[in-house]
Amino acid sequence: MISKRRFLLCACGAACATAALPVRAALPPISMARHEQAMRQAIEEARRNPVYPFGAVIVRGDTGEVMARGVNNSRENPILHGEIACMNDYVGLNGNKGWGLMVLYTTGEPCSMCMSALVWAGIGGVVFASSIDGIRRAGIAQIDITARAVAAASPFYSGLLLGGVLARETDRMFMDRPKG
Ligand SMILES: [Zn+2]
């Protein structure tokens, strides 16, 4: 099963766009320009928490419409990472349905908790900017399990997984954050 699934983790631009076709039939092909446009919205969300700038948006894969937003709020609740906050916002606004048509964009690679939640939701795709290594280099502790490892350990899941989109910008954002 695992060998049949395709994962793409890259830090490059348009050269990888044609290889980034989603595995899920529910998702149409998404250009790198569209990925970057959505990631910029996740970055805007992240700026609401300058110390821990983990922001996320969930967009429709076919139209790019933003369906939900979230930013890390772990001061209030330890599980409110940006991705979880965004998933909660999604369910509140749209109900617990339609996940396979959606792509979550996040400024930092989902941790094992968040990636597991996204797998359980059956989300169509996950696109992140900074890698776990990049976040760690900025002095933020990380559990050393990649999003790819979580997806690979989930034989029932076959969503798009793409990393490195606008990572140069988000790596700088994490590095330059005020130390809280
Ligand atoms: Zn997380």
The pLDDT tens digits of the residues spanning 84-138 come to: 999 999 999 999 999 999 999 999 999 999 999 999 999 999 999 999 999 999 9
**Ligand 1 center to residue 16 CA distance, Å?**
26
**Ligand 1 center to residue 86 CA distance, Å?**
11
Q: What is the mean pLDDT of residues 55-64?
A: 97
* Backbone φ, ψ for residue 70 (5° rounding): -165, 155
pTM (predicted TM-score): 0.87
**Ligand 1 center to residue 111 CA distance, Å?**
4
In the beta sheet, which residues pair with residue 56? 70, 106
**Ligand 1 center to residue 141 CA distance, Å?**
11
Does residue 15 register a pLDDT over 70? no
Smallest Cα–Cα separation from 123: which of 93, 98, 146? 98
28: CB partners within 8 A, 6+ apart: 22, 61, 62
Task: Give percent of the chain above pLDDT 70.
Answer: 86
What whole-number distance in Å separates Cα of residue 55 and Cα of residue 24? 24
Enumerate residues with CB within 5 Å of ligand 1 (an ion).
81, 111, 113-114
